[in-house]
Structure 1
Amino acid sequence: MISSTPTTVTDRDFATEVLSANQPVLVYFWASWCGPCRLMSPILDKLAAEYGDHLKIVKMEVDPNPESVAVYQVEGVPAFRLFKAGEVVESSEGAISQQKLQSLIAPHLAAPN
């Protein structure tokens, strides 16, 4: 079943949940102490509901997951990495508007049938 809410991932399940996914995956890197991250969470929930059938959205807390943070060079939070076929195709750091996030994602989604 496709999720209409962001899924939480860890270093342990990153390869399965993100790299092996058969659809684009937006990874949202966040931290509990990050004020701007709290502003982004409702936007991610909206996008998960809107794009849930052709985009997987996952959240990864940075502090307990240092491996993925290092591999994908996350230097600040909130941060976003869009994966397609296991490769990063878009990247952004810092709080951004819903429109900006949608413009980052849209070119990489299959046209709806």
Structure 2
Amino acid sequence: MEQMLSVVFQTSVKIFDVPVENHILLFIPTNSETFNTTYENYKSAAAEFRGKIMFVLVNTNETRNGRIFEYFRIREVDVPAVRILNLTSQAKYKMPADEVTVENVRHFCQSYLDGKAKLHLSSEEIAEDWDKMPVKVLVGQNFNRIVFNRTMTVFVMFYAPWSYDCRKLLPIWDELGEKYQSHEDVIIAKIDITANDVLSVVMDRYPFFRLFPAGPDIQVRSLR
């Protein structure tokens, strides 16, 4: 198995089929002046973690990689950037050091394998009027508090603004919110999953729907 994969659009699905659940990704434009040095440093750390962590290179100049940038919340000002992704939990980790050196990459990988790396969770700010409309607007910061409160049944739509199917269904979701607006024990909600990390829910498509029933023994139900 190759220890280094380069990602471009169609091959992005392929990397998630590799039988190694831990992936580290370097986001960098391949035509930058520092690319050769940065890439060599990154690649030099790979051999030590063979079979434990799959090393991946993502060219940020490739526009077809846009979905990957969005998934990892990578902006142009962030690169070069290094992230670790656990495919099982979908947990993401950000390398603390800004400089991509052999030692920094090694330390990041070992810290992750030792369970010492800190999760990197993205969240929008909670809007002042998040609960004023029929459909409540959740973000990463208030998601668990709302859906796992046990006193309310919460039905959530996980959506991506760029998705045609999501945009088509949002007006229908608003209608559902209006229908249940008078039910004090029911919340109809939505969350932009491209801007907020939710580790308690694993999704494989957008839109994604999940019902969080009220009660002490919550049995979560997913609808697709």
2:37 counterpart residue number: 39
Contact 1:7 / 1:57 at 8 angstroms: preserved in 2?
yes
1:96 counterpart residue number: 100
Shift of 1:7: 1.0
**Per-residue CA distance 1:68-90 (angstroms, 9 max, x = gap):** 11221112221111011252431
TM-score (norm 1): 0.76
Higher mean C-alpha displacement, 55-64 vs 77-86:
77-86
Instruction: Give the Cα separation in 1 of the matches to 2:13 and 2:57.
Output: 14
The alignment of Structure 1 onto Structure 2 pairs a total of residues equal to 108
Give the residue type in structure 2 aligned to 1:109: L
Higher mean C-alpha displacement, 40-49 vs 80-89:
80-89
- CA separation of 1:18 and 1:94: change in aligned 2, threshold 3 A: farther
Instruction: Give the Cα separation in 1 of the matches to 2:38 and 2:29.
Output: 11
Of structures 1 and 2, the larger Rg is shown by 2
**Per-residue CA distance 1:21-45 (angstroms, 9 max, x = gap):** 5331101111023233332111122
Contact 2:25 / 2:82 at 8 angstroms: preserved in 1?
yes
Shift of 1:106: 0.7
* Structure with more of its chain in helix, by fraction: 1
2:26 counterpart residue number: 28
- CA separation of 1:78 and 1:27: change in aligned 2, threshold 3 A: same
TM-score (norm 2): 0.42
Alignment of 1:1-113 (within 5 A): 2-4=1-3, 6-18=4-16, 21-64=19-62, 65-75=65-75, 76-86=78-88, 87-92=90-95, 94-109=98-113
Higher mean C-alpha displacement, 42-51 vs 55-64:
42-51
Q: Which runs of 5+ in 2 are unaligned?
A: 115-224
Q: CA RMSD of the aligned region, Å?
A: 2.4
Instruction: Give the Cα separation in 1 of the matches to 2:2 and 2:33.
Output: 26
Instruction: Give the Cα separation in 2 of the matches to 1:53 and 1:67.
Output: 26
Contact 1:3 / 1:48 at 8 angstroms: preserved in 2?
no
Q: Which runs of 5+ in 1 are unaligned?
A: none
Give SS of 2:34's match: helix
Contact 1:79 / 1:94 at 8 angstroms: preserved in 2?
yes
- Percent identity over the alignment is 11
Instruction: Give the Cα separation in 2 of the matches to 1:63 and 1:88.
Output: 25
